[in-house]
Amino acid sequence: MASQNTRTEIRVGGLGGQGIILCGSIIGKAAAIYSGRHAAMIQAFGPEARGSACSAQVIVADEAIGYPYVRHPDILVLLSQDAFVQFAPQLKPDGLVLYENELVQPEGKLPTTARSLGIPATRFAEELGRRLVLNIVMAGFFTGATNLLSIDAVEKAVVDSVPKGTESLNLKALMKGYEYGRALVTPT
């Protein structure tokens, strides 16, 4: 979908402690370092506490990025209901919402022409052994559902971003989300 655009605006939103910034950073790294494209990221924190609102704005483009802020996202990656309420009205009319379906109920507020896809990412992360990798499942879901970046590039960005010793489980989490996303967008 968005791969034809020269500029794709992405907003990752959720709560502090869900790994929102890391998720956005992985998308940006995969684009800028491992896909030869341009990327910009701006992170926004809420109050200084776990569980407060948190979001990352990521731009992926084929040309230099003059304006690094997301105003009307093409893609929303959402891990909390508050983030949905806050960011859904900003989505472009033909935009895509990717959401954690145990944490977000995508009711109302979306443009009628927008698409939304959910994933039980928390459950997948827990089944893999660590709820902590929820954000990496979402990064994989983003990769599989949007086709904006190659899975190879995102794999490299994950390995480059996570602490030594955790790569294997994080890559499993990435692939879990990726395969789930691919299955949702692949015609049967």
Partner 1 sequence: MERDGFPRVAKLKDGSSVEISLASAADGPSLLDFYRSLSDEDRLVLKDNVTTPGWLARFLAKLESGAATSLVARADGRICGEATLHRNLHGWSRHVGEIRLSVAADRRGKGLGYALAGGVVKLAIDMGLEKMVAQLVESQAAARKTFERLGFRQEAELARQVADIRGTKRDLLIYSNDVSHIWSAMEALVEEDYRPHEGQ
- Residues interacting with partner 1, by CB under 8 A? 15-22, 43-50, 52, 54, 128-130, 132, 135, 161-166, 168-170, 172
Rounded to the nearest whole angstrom, what is the least distance from the CB of residue 45 to partner 1 in the complex? 3
Only one residue has tokens 């084929």, namely 62
Q: For residues 15 and 117, which CB has a smaller minimum distance to partner 1 in the complex? A: 15
Rounded to the nearest whole angstrom, what is the least distance from the CB of residue 151 to partner 1 in the complex? 18
Q: For residues 15 and 104, which CB has a smaller minimum distance to partner 1 in the complex? A: 15
Q: For residues 51 and 93, which CB has a smaller minimum distance to partner 1 in the complex? A: 51
Q: For residues 65 and 126, which CB has a smaller minimum distance to partner 1 in the complex? A: 126
Rounded to the nearest whole angstrom, what is the least distance from the CB of residue 77 to partner 1 in the complex? 14
Q: For residues 44 and 183, which CB has a smaller minimum distance to partner 1 in the complex? A: 44
Largest CA distance in the chain: 46
Rounded to the nearest whole angstrom, what is the least distance from the CB of residue 70 to partner 1 in the complex? 15
Rounded to the nearest whole angstrom, what is the least distance from the CB of residue 130 to partner 1 in the complex? 4
